[in-house]
Chains A and B, each alone.
Chain A
Amino acid sequence: MAIIKASQKVSVNKNHRQWYALKAKPFSHELLTTSLLTALGTATFVGIHHRYRKQRLADARLQDYVSGIYAQLNAVQSAATGSKSMLRRLRYACKQAASTWQQAYRLPMNDNQPSSRDLSANDFRSMHTTTMLTRPVYWVSGVASMPKDISLLSESDENDFGVVGIDPDRQIVWQTTMPERVHDIVVQPAFDSQNTFVNHNKNRDVVVMGRRPSEKFWVLDTATGQVKFVINAANNRHFYGHACYSSDGSKLYVTENDTLILDGKIGVYDVKNGYQKIAEFESYGIGPHELIMHPDGKTLVVANGGIKTERASREELNLDTMHPSLVYLNCHNGDLLEQIMPEHNQMSVRHLAMHDDGTVMIGIQFQGEKHINVPLVLTHKRGDIGFKPLMMPNNQWQRFHQYIASIAVDSKRNLLCVTTPMGGCAAIFDLTTRALINSISLPDCAGASVYSRNICSGNDVVKANIEQQSGFIVSDGQGQLTRLTVNDLTILDSELKSDAIAKNDNIGIDSRRHTMSFDNHLQAL
């Protein structure tokens, strides 16, 4: 505080001297100088903005700025409300600029600096609209077509992407607007691999990744949905949609793309230091997508999708020559521990889930000819020579339309759930027999998560009953959150051998509908 006051005094004296010096010069000269400097400064700012704009929109032109001014002036003249809209946009632009400035120059934050953290949070609160109820959150998901609080409509109609927190009754607890479509949502762990309590629930972070390729990720507060930080990608890097925390929640690992040489990278971010990037590893492949922590707490498991895309583009450049892989990395130094390739070079290794016993569950997206039948759900454990496919009746993997969107594992009951929006269904496998239990028609479904066994506290009988019925929750683009419970795990040997489709009544279905579209991933807290 004393330092700030001292510097203010010096600054005041200096300003007085400058004022007198200015008075001594002809006013017109000063006016001309100021005007020229203003023009130069404006041109510089606009030039920088245009450079980044050009990367996002190929047909962006400098004259768009002039056209924009004319359009806004016309809008102001034609409607009284136009000025309000323009001011709102201007205010948003100013807030963005201010927060970016602050992000760029902010000091490392830790728990001993509550004031700087609060200031940052307040700023982001004003840029993202959050509405919330005081209820516990059990899942988080990205959404589109998010309805707005009617009282906030005039302030928040810039877009309709967002993130929502969901309670045990599958009701929305909080919703926060996002400026772009989001992909993975990652929750900071509460317990590490030794089951030691490392973080109180109400202080946990949720990281929201932008959809591939993205230049941002956001850090939200789990309980309230308030945005705490916005992290920008480093130069020549794009985020690739997924992230995971270290077992103790102190580091965040993010899949990234080197936009110059198009190689996959893993960015390492220090959570306690305001998510500043502290290291970068090779992903040992192209197009890394999902990554997860191994239960040993030391190993990072990365799905290298193998698909090469250019800067800010989703167009696949190498489908014929792609080489996807699953890699195990030392999470401390990035050393390659093991790398496994699928049987067909166009089986893009995309989505992962980790069984408590260290077996990796893998969802494939096949990029080859549509009529080729390849296994789409595989497993791998450290030391295995290759991937092991699960079993489909009649080996008919085309039921999933060559595309697995999400994968979730219930280690306790040894069950696996996969979703396929292209195939319009969710399927549950028994990991003991490795056979399909059944698939359920769920149009546009994508997100999958375990239906938490700890949702209901209370007497032991009720808890045991809930545990017995626990299963999965699946979200879809048509607004449903569907609970799937496996009623009967008994699959006759004859059914397995005859490739018969499992009976339809062994999975319980219970849907709850919302007026929004749930995006690719759903994560349990």
Chain B
Amino acid sequence: MKINHALAMALSALSAGILISCVKPADDNKAAEVDSQVAQDSAELKTGENAAVDGNTDKNVEKIVAVDISAETEKTYLTHVANEIVIPAYADAAKQSDLLHDLAQKHCQQAPVSGDELQALRDQWLVLAQAWASAEMVNFGPATASMSNLYINYYPDERGLVHSGVADLIAANPKLTAEQLANESAVVQGVPGLEEVLYANDSLDAGQCAYVISASSALSTRLKAIEKNWQQNATKLLAIDKTAESDQGLNQWINSLLSLVETMKSNAVDQPLGLSGKAKGHLPAATAEQSRAIINAKLATLNKAMTDPVLTAILGSNSENNVADNLSTALADTTTLLAQMPEDLATADKATQQELYDHLTSVTRLIKRQLIPALGLRVGFNSNDGD
């Protein structure tokens, strides 16, 4: 081999090595995002695709320092979470279901029900659906045990089982009672079943009225049972009595909130809108064309939890972090964007849909890379993304 050939080979390898090593950091960041994993070192957070939060994180490129949380502080916070966030969320959902039940009994005295009366029922259903969307942030405890949450919200319904299931049930049981319904499949119950009857029909006949009355009653019973369970077992469910020996309760609560955003991002935005692959599933409240309201309710709940004064005080005890401010700003930006979108997110243009997805990604990253490290916790992952 000639010397200039050998020299050319060496120079080629060197220059290619430099080019490849320069492109590697960007690739690593992209790959990490695909796997929904965390790079704990927030010093290397900033990439071009993070533009949505970069404005907020410029000043947070430094390492996140974990806050020192005493057992007593953790106990106070978890008690506050149970009493002021979790239990009221279930109580509100039960209350809204009761109100729908009362309204249905009032308007259904003379079927068929249509016009303003039907609209009133639909409006109350939407309030109920938003209340449950808020309560869904608690993805552990009695609501999810043995997948009982499917009886409240069978979502996503990828094969359209609710539509035919509810119609068949009403046809077979025109005088359906709440007790009979409670023993039926999860597919024909809860919030989606009520949505189907209220929005897929221009007027409600006697059988449909009976269904609305029974389904709202059965739903109230389930929601009240969950609320009662939390009232009786909050200490155990949030490991409030174990704060001296472990951060199990705090870990579970914060990871539950993270799971809420990740599930919403994937099931309620990405997949139905087909943003990163083939479209799959459907938007929440698709029959009612009210997906924006549902996502807005979830964001409001997340905002309430993240800007909670007790949590903010804990995070503020370490003046080196701006985690609470960053989260608050990112959530406000997302809410503002959502407010500018149409009620049915499917009718928004692709760029805005993508922007919403990117904002949710930013919120997820802040929780993973700033909030969780600041609280000295760990990002769980097996329950979101197993194999």
The reply to whether A443 and B11 form a contact with Cβ atoms under 8 Å apart is no
Hey, which chain A residues are within 8 Å of B25, CB to CB? Answer: 68, 89
| A39–chain B nearest beta-carbon distance, Å | 8
Interface of A is mostly: mixed
The reply to whether A69 and B18 form a contact with Cβ atoms under 8 Å apart is yes
In this complex, the member of B161, B377, B378, B379 whose beta carbon has the largest number of chain A beta carbons within 10 angstroms is: B378
Do A405 and B19 contact each other (CB < 8 Å), given the known contacts A15-B3, A516-B378? no
Complex CA–CA separation, A68 to B30 (angstroms): 14
A71 within 8 A of B: yes
B172 within 8 A of A: no
The reply to whether B252 and A478 form a contact with Cβ atoms under 8 Å apart is yes
Do A72 and B8 contact each other (CB < 8 Å), given the known contacts A371-B150, A517-B381? no
The reply to whether A68 and B255 form a contact with Cβ atoms under 8 Å apart is no
The reply to whether A22 and B248 form a contact with Cβ atoms under 8 Å apart is no
The reply to whether B21 and A42 form a contact with Cβ atoms under 8 Å apart is no
The reply to whether A64 and B26 form a contact with Cβ atoms under 8 Å apart is yes
Interface size bracket, A side:
35 or more
Do A64 and B386 contact each other (CB < 8 Å), given the known contacts A370-B147, A443-B380, A444-B255? no
Complex CA–CA separation, A181 to B35 (angstroms): 8
What are the interface flags for A301-321 relative to B under an 8 Å C-beta threshold, 1 for contact and 0 otherwise?
000000000000001000000
A519 within 8 A of B: yes
| A470–chain B nearest beta-carbon distance, Å | 24
Q: Which of B139-197 contact A (CB under 8 A)?
A: 140, 144-147, 150, 154, 159, 161, 185-187
The reply to whether A37 and B12 form a contact with Cβ atoms under 8 Å apart is yes
Hey, which chain B residues are within 8 Å of A181, CB to CB? Answer: 35, 37
| B307–chain A nearest beta-carbon distance, Å | 24
Hey, which chain A residues are within 8 Å of B41, CB to CB? Answer: 157, 160
Complex CA–CA separation, A20 to B379 (angstroms): 65
Which of A375-383, A394-402, A456-464 lies at the interface with chain B? Answer: A394-402
Hey, which chain A residues are within 8 Å of B255, CB to CB? Answer: 443-444, 478
B115 within 8 A of A: no
Complex CA–CA separation, A42 to B19 (angstroms): 9
A197 within 8 A of B: no
| B25–chain A nearest beta-carbon distance, Å | 7
The reply to whether B386 and A446 form a contact with Cβ atoms under 8 Å apart is yes
A251 within 8 A of B: no
In this complex, the member of B41, B44, B387 whose beta carbon has the largest number of chain A beta carbons within 10 angstroms is: B387
Do A371 and B387 contact each other (CB < 8 Å), given the known contacts A22-B2, A42-B15? no
The reply to whether B277 and A444 form a contact with Cβ atoms under 8 Å apart is no
Do A477 and B381 contact each other (CB < 8 Å), given the known contacts A34-B4, A45-B16? yes
Do A46 and B19 contact each other (CB < 8 Å), given the known contacts A144-B38, A519-B382? yes
B351 within 8 A of A: no
Complex CA–CA separation, A78 to B39 (angstroms): 23
B296 within 8 A of A: no
Complex CA–CA separation, A490 to B251 (angstroms): 35
| A180–chain B nearest beta-carbon distance, Å | 8
Nearest neighbor of B9 in chain A, beta-carbon distance: A41
Complex CA–CA separation, A424 to B9 (angstroms): 56
The reply to whether B145 and A18 form a contact with Cβ atoms under 8 Å apart is no
Q: Which residues of A contact B (CB under 8 A)?
A: 15, 18-19, 21-22, 30, 33-34, 37-38, 40-42, 44-46, 49, 53, 56-57, 60, 64-65, 67-69, 71-72, 86, 89-90, 92-94, 97, 144-145, 157-161, 180-181, 183, 211-212, 241, 289, 315, 369-371, 396, 398-399, 401-403, 405, 421-422, 424, 443-446, 476-480, 511, 513, 515-517, 519-520
Q: Which residues of B contact A (CB under 8 A)?
A: 2-5, 7-9, 11-13, 15-28, 30-32, 35, 37-41, 43-44, 140, 144-147, 150, 154, 159, 161, 185-187, 246, 248, 251-252, 255, 277-278, 376-383, 386-387
Not counting A241-B387, A443-B252, A477-B383, a sample of 19 additional A-B residue pairs whose C-beta atoms are within 8 angstroms of each other reads A34-B8, A38-B7, A41-B13, A45-B20, A46-B20, A57-B30, A72-B22, A90-B21, A144-B381, A160-B40, A370-B154, A421-B383, A443-B248, A444-B380, A444-B382, A513-B246, A516-B378, A517-B378, A520-B387
Task: List 12 contacting pairs A-B, 8 Å CB cutoff, sorted by A.
Answer: A38-B15, A46-B20, A64-B23, A65-B19, A89-B21, A97-B13, A145-B40, A157-B41, A241-B387, A370-B154, A513-B246, A519-B382
